[in-house]
Amino acid sequence: MSCQQRSLALETEIWGTATERTTQWILVEYCGEWHPKMRIPNLQLPVSFAGALDSISKRDGWKILWIRRPGASGKYVYWWDLDSKKCKVASIDADWNDGFENEERWQYPEDIGLSAPQVLVCTHGQRDRCCAVLGGVIFAELRRHLPETVWQVTHLGGHRFAPTALCLSLGLLLGRIEQSDGINIARAVMMQNSQLIRTAIIRGDVRLSKREQARQLWLAEQEGELLSTREEQFVWLDKNGQRLQTKQYLQQLGELAVSCGDAHTKPVYQWCFESHETVE
């Protein structure tokens, strides 16, 4: 049984499992062979570029991903800033000795005739076979709707939720995507409207903490409005106008080998919500 099948049998929901508190995303075109782990020193990158990447990889709130698609040159790096919801692009072969902050080397993609990567589908088979097999199907489906802006990407985290994808600039990490979701994902990206995506396949907004991700999605499912939060409790207004207080906590479901072929198991958890009193 694959890790994805084991997860489906145990974890009913995937809310609050996304990367958290990450607003700066560096996407590096890479046309070479993908390795099980894409370590910067092993990828034969230009020296100054590798040094700049290594420096930002140590910063909180930043993440580096490796992307590819048919016809890509392997010459560009993209920087998505989810705070501003803007993307810019530069040449990997530029002089990077002064790091990523030199604005003179960056251009917006439309300035050089390129489209910004908007949807990244994990197809990292060297890391987990579920991502390759299931992700490949979703990548092909999304290319039908977003031919210029969907890319394959290395590990997004959570093999067992394959197929997974990251939607920029919505900032949403998705999992357990079905082919029928393709058209709505495309519409959500083009219209910048996250409400067009099924709540069940959203793992979370990567700008938020895992707790906030899960709470936001649970409230969306309830059609509720958040009023206030305090530690593990929050107060909200339901669709009928009633004020409720709800406790949010993690519950251990059991243990899983979270990747195919992994002999070791890890505990897995799910966010639970208990509305235990009405607030007058």
- What digits encode the pLDDT tens for the residues 130-168? 788 899 999 999 999 999 999 999 989 888 898 999 999
- Of 189, 205, 221, the domain-final residue: 205
* Higher per-residue pLDDT: 107 or 32: 107
Mean pLDDT score, 67-81: 94
Taking residues 106-111, report their average pLDDT.
Answer: 90
pLDDT-derived band at 19, boundaries 50, 70, 90: very high
Residue with tokens 């079905």: 178
Residues 146 and 237 in one domain: no
State the residue range of the domain holding 56: 3-205
Residue 50 and residue 186 in one domain: yes
**CATH number (domain holding residue 187):** 3.40.30.10
Instruction: Report the pLDDT value the prediction gives residue 103, as an integer from 0 to 100.
Output: 87
- Tokens 């919801």 correspond to 85
In terms of domains, do 54 and 126 share one?
yes
Q: Residues of the chain with pLDDT > 70: what percent?
A: 99
Per the CB < 8 A criterion, the answer to whether 50 and 39 are in contact is no
Looking at residue 113, its pLDDT comes to 82
* Cβ–Cβ < 8 Å for 203, 223: no
pLDDT at 268: 93
Q: What pTM, to 2 d.p., does this model score?
A: 0.95
Judgement on whether residues 267 and 160 belong to the same structural domain of the protein = no
> 276: helix, coil or strand?
strand
| Mean pLDDT confidence for 200-213 | 98
Q: Which residue has the tokens 């309830």?
A: 222
pLDDT at 264: 86
Mean pLDDT of 31-46: 90
Same domain, 228 and 188: no
Question: Given this model, what pLDDT does residue 6 score?
Answer: 85
CA 199 to chain centre: 15
Which of 205, 220, 249 is the last residue in one of the domains?
205
Most confident of 65-79, 128-142, 203-217: 203-217
Buried b (16+ CB within 10 A) or exposed e, 27-65: bbbbeeebeeebeeeebebeebbbebbeebeeeeebbbb
* Residue 199 pLDDT exceeds 60: yes
**Domain identity same for 89 and 220:** no
| Number of structural domains in the chain | 2
- From CA 79, how far away is CA 100, in angstroms rounded? 9
Please say if the pLDDT value at position 205 is more than 90. yes
| pLDDT value at 207 more than 80 | yes
Average pLDDT, the chain: 93
Look at residues 176, 205, 234 and tell me which one is the last residue of a structural domain.
205
Residue 90 has pLDDT above 60, yes or no: yes
Residue 235: exposure state from Cβ atoms within 10 A (0-12, 13-18, ≥19): middle
Confidence of residue 91 (pLDDT cuts 50, 70, 90): very high
pLDDT tops 70 at residue 279:
no
Q: What is the mean pLDDT of residues 85-104?
A: 93
